[in-house]
Amino acid sequence: MWRQPPRLSREGEAERLRPRTLPLGLVLTLLVLGLPLNAALPWTVHSQPTRLLNGAPVLFQVKPPAKLDSLTGTWLGHELTFSYNPSTRTWFALAGVDIERTPGKYTLELTAHSATSKAPLKFSSAFAVSRARYPKIKVQLAVEKKFTEPSPEQQAQIAESVKVKQDFLGRVTLDREWNGNFAAAVDAATSDVFGSQRIFNGVAQRPHFGLDYRVPTGTPVAAMNDGTILLARFLYFEGNCVVIDHGQGLLTLYFHLSELKVKEGNSVKRGQEIGLSGGTGRATGPHLHVAIRWQGTYLDPARLLSLSLP
């Protein structure tokens, strides 16, 4: 009943792994818990940060028990495709936890494939999600009436913008393009954080799903990481906006720009200028709004910037 697939040694030579001897106590515990014995294989799964929060990104790092060709996973109903880091012999993927997620235990399911094994290796690891505290400060903001009471013609423009966003922002490229740490788009103080509640002209809005930087019009805005320009155009609320696809389902969004410096389909590197800041779209004044979207859910950009990434 104790079987392991053969694995390739470094020279590419097939060798059989010797069965591991499990302590009797552990075997009995696993049997009592109804867990398969291969759950005791030395997989290690880590998260960064260690404490997972709703609205926050997370880096999963996996050290499998054998050499793999590919590793995929499912997390909160999303698909993950892992990348391999040969220097640490770990597989890694960026993911996130949606802001509405109830605190509790959630399982990361892993499926590994190797050329030497027909059946995929399976492993699962449970992670606790804790509640993040987001500011409840209500700010009264005045914007042009076309944003709170749009005319029928403006409503048609809004519908067009909504359609563009549905078409583009729902796309998921599982292959990774991002590389290393994310960097701030501008070097400036922030004026509003992720998750705060806002009121425009007395009308309550959904929480603020981005990070605002206090920058004057014309400030160069840089790509936060390597990727491909998914969108570079004017949208009703966002104004001139750029969206970069970094792969693994991760997008960065830059709103209210006065000028676009890239075209859809362009490849960009971290730090490359993608536009100039401004106050286009629904903005109370010039500033840069940056947002992080992972597979349809907005995540806190400040928390992504604080991750130390491979």
Residues making contact with Zn ion (CB under 5 A): 210, 212, 289
What minimum distance in Å lies between the beta carbon of 213 and Zn ion?
Answer: 9
Q: Based on CB atoms, which residue is closest to Zn ion, 101 or 289?
A: 289
Q: Residue 202 CB, nearest distance to Zn ion (Å)?
A: 19
Contacts of 25 (CB under 8 A, 6+ apart): none
Nearer to Zn ion by Cβ, of 121 and 257: the residue is 257
DSSP label at residue 224: S
Comparison of 73 and 210: residue with beta carbon closer to Zn ion: 210
The Cα 183–Cα 135 span in angstroms is 24
Nearest to 270 by CA among 179, 190, 176: 179
| CA–CA distances in Å: residue 283 to residues 42, 51, 143, 191, 236 | 52, 34, 7, 13, 11
Closer by beta carbon to Zn ion, 60 or else 298: 298
Shortest distance, position 290 Cβ to Zn ion, whole Å: 8
CB 12 → Zn ion: shortest distance, Å?
53
Q: Which is closer to Zn ion, CB of 127 or CB of 213? A: 213
Q: State the Cα–Cα distance between residues 150 and 279, nearest whole angstrom.
A: 19
Bond preceding residue 49 cis, omega within 30 of 0: yes
- Residue of minimal Cβ distance to Zn ion: 289
Least gap, CB of 211 to Zn ion (angstroms): 7
Site of tokens 């007395």: 202
Cβ(299)–Cβ(207) under 8 Å?
no
